[in-house]
Amino acid sequence: MAIFFNTAGGLKINTQGIINEIIHFMKSNPRCHYKIIIGTDSELTADKKADFVSAIVIHRVGNGGRYFYRRVEYDKIYTLRDRIIKEVLISLEIARELLLELKKENMPAVWDFEIHADIGENGETKTLIQEVVGIIRANDFKAKTKPESYVATKVADRYI
């Protein structure tokens, strides 16, 4: 089953389409530095399910970017910790698939890869920072938390 994301304009796009868009975006200015960033945010729904929105951002550092997002609903999310860990696991799954496909391509520019987690030093999630950052780093990705985790806290959050 193909997994589709939405473009900022609302069009449906599959993983290969996202890869093509990323490469095209990088080729348009190959001298720039790029970041490919994945982040997920969530909220509980009235019927005790959880709505998760994941975003993929290609950021031309200092000069804009593009993003793609998708929404998925899951049952049986009981605690805030469960929800935050699920956000990270979803982001990691997307990141591994995307990175696998990107490595097959002849990338035209210098780029970094990051996972943004919707946790920070303030609020209920502060006790989860070490665990979440550990999970992300154990999977060989760079982790960012609030206030630097804008893909989870701003882009994905926009569609929750």
Structural domains of the chain sorted by starting position, each given as residue range(s) with its CATH number in brackets: 4-159 (3.30.420)
Q: For the chain, what is the mean pLDDT? A: 93
pLDDT (average), residues 134-142? 97
pLDDT at position 28: 94
pLDDT > 50? residue 153: yes
Residue 30: asked if its preceding bond is cis (omega within 30°), the reply is no
pLDDT at position 160: 87
pLDDT > 70? residue 122: yes
From 32-36, 73-77, 120-124, the region with the lowest mean pLDDT: 73-77
DSSP 9: T
Using alpha carbons, select from 14, 31, 9 the residue that is nearest to residue 98.
Answer: 14
pLDDT at position 2: 59
Q: How far is it, in rounded angstroms, from Cα 147 to Cα 55?
A: 17
